[in-house]
Amino acid sequence: MIDIFNSVMKKVIIWINLEVMRMGKKILWLWDNIEQIIASLLLLSMVVLLTIQVFSRFILHSSVPWTEEASRYVFLSLVYVGVSLVAKQNAHIRIVDHMKLLPKRFKGLLLLISDIIWIGFNVIVAIEGIKLFDGMGEHAFISPAMQWNMKYIFLVIPLSFLLASIRIIENNIKKFIKKEKVPLDPTGID
């Protein structure tokens, strides 16, 4: 009887481990693609909102006021999520012509220093964004058409800059610790 119980328990434990591994893969996939997913959904919603606005204005001769306001907030969010996306892809704008003149080890050091400065900037923006979020809680600023508390709209600022910092750190870990190839910029200068 104990052998049957042990055998069943081993099978249950193996099944649980497999399920955890599958779930872990899904969570890792989600983490690796979260910016693309959010950006795609934001872009899609912006197109839908603007289509509704254009249709109602030019076909129905009556505007829907909340669509124009919502599309502005969606666009704002799309821009800030884009900050994190380009940081993840290491595709942000950099001046790189001077890198061609440097030895390879100095290129890495210079890029690391610039990334540390960028992370510092991101942390400052995130802290100030959190202060803005807290300050807007004390004195509510309500959007005109949708009557939303604007503090939740502006929460995208600190969140996206914190996520961008995490992506910059991930890229540097890949490059300097794991020794994986990470493109320095879209032109592929090493």
What local confidence, expressed as pLDDT, does residue 119 receive?
96
Q: In whole angstroms, give the CA distance from residue 72 to residue 98.
A: 38
What's the mean pLDDT when you consider all of the chain?
Answer: 86
Structural domains in the chain (count):
1
| Residue 190 belongs to some domain of the structure | no
94 or 144, greater pLDDT: 144
Question: Does residue 99 have a pLDDT over 50?
Answer: yes
Mean pLDDT across 41-57: 95
| Residue 187 belongs to some domain of the structure | no
149 or 20, greater pLDDT: 149
Q: In whole angstroms, give the CA distance from residue 179 to residue 165.
A: 20
Mean pLDDT across 180-188: 59
The secondary structure of residue 102, as a DSSP letter, is S
What local confidence, expressed as pLDDT, does residue 102 receive?
78
| Residue 188 belongs to some domain of the structure | no
| Residue 184 belongs to some domain of the structure | no
**pLDDT tens-place string over residues 121-154:** 999 999 999 999 988 877 888 888 888 889 999 9
Token representation of residue 63: 């505007």
Question: Lowest-pLDDT range, 2-6, 108-112, 116-120, 178-182?
Answer: 2-6
For residue 149, list its beta bridge partners. 142
| Residue 66 belongs to some domain of the structure | yes
| Residue 103 belongs to some domain of the structure | yes
| Residue 143 belongs to some domain of the structure | yes
Q: With cut-offs at 50, 70 and 90, classify the pLDDT of residue 112.
A: confident
AA letter at 157: I
| Residue 113 belongs to some domain of the structure | yes
Which region, left, alpha or beta, applies to residue 147 given φ > 0 means left and ψ of -120 to 50 means alpha?
A: left
12 or 190, greater pLDDT: 12
49 or 101, greater pLDDT: 49
Which residues form the domain of 150?
2-177
Token representation of residue 67: 């669509």
Mean pLDDT across 22-33: 87
Q: With cut-offs at 50, 70 and 90, classify the pLDDT of residue 187.
A: very low
The secondary structure of residue 17, as a DSSP letter, is H
For residue 142, list its beta bridge partners. 149
Question: Does residue 24 have a pLDDT over 90?
Answer: no
